[in-house]
Amino acid sequence: MAFDREELLEKMAGALADNPGCTIKELADAVGISKASLHRIYTNKQNICELLAAEERMVLREVRELIQEEHEDWLADLQEIIEIFVNNANYVRCMGRETLPCSLSEAEWEAFDGVLTSFFRRGKEAGILLGDFSSTDMNDIFFGLITGLIESMGMRQSNPAAVKRIVYEALLGGIYRPLEIRK
């Protein structure tokens, strides 16, 4: 039987996000193949986690490349960034899980954090983001919001289209147009 390695890896990312301590047998069961097939394709859990970390790096690289192109339409770039995260939901759910044997390094996170913060700084400088939040705060708000909603997708409580809409509208509805405080 032929296996689509990319599809299996994505399914395993979701299974590991749900249960980082699962065994190879539990992982094989979660993705619908035998333990022997999983071993034949991926060798061991360490190898699987290294491949997942590579996919996580790819997601961050894709976002970083988009941000560094500095397009004229900041809002379109925001939508594209949201799209990248949601389309790679299972890999995003594995990001930062210290319980997995392989993950992104502190230096990789810091480099990505700096690029994302600069993106939100450009949004503020362009007059698009008008709230009293710093670009660092915006980065934290965005990342917390997107990863939290992606996690709800993993629990089958949300769907990709809703997550994309909610993140975009929450950022722009509450930060693009700051709420007026009622007296």
CATH of 5-176, one of 1.10.357.10, 3.40.5.90, 1.10.630.10, 1.10.3720.10: 1.10.357.10
pLDDT digits (tens, 9 = 90+) for 115-157: 999 999 998 888 888 777 888 888 888 888 898 889 888 787 7
Residues in Cβ contact with 59 at an 8 Å cutoff, skipping those fewer than 6 apart: 84, 85, 88, 91, 92, 95
> What does pTM read for this prediction?
0.86
CA distance 37 to 1: 9
Quote the percentage of the chain above a pLDDT of 90: 39
Question: Which pLDDT does position 1 carry in this prediction?
Answer: 54
Answer whether residue 69 shows pLDDT above 80: yes
Average pLDDT along the chain = 85
Nearest to 75 by CA among 112, 111, 33, 126: 126
Q: Which residues contact 74 (CB under 8 A, 6 or more apart)?
A: 122, 123, 126, 128
What pLDDT is recorded for position 175?
A: 56
Q: What is the pLDDT of residues 74-106, one digit of tens each?
A: 999 999 999 999 999 999 998 877 766 677 888
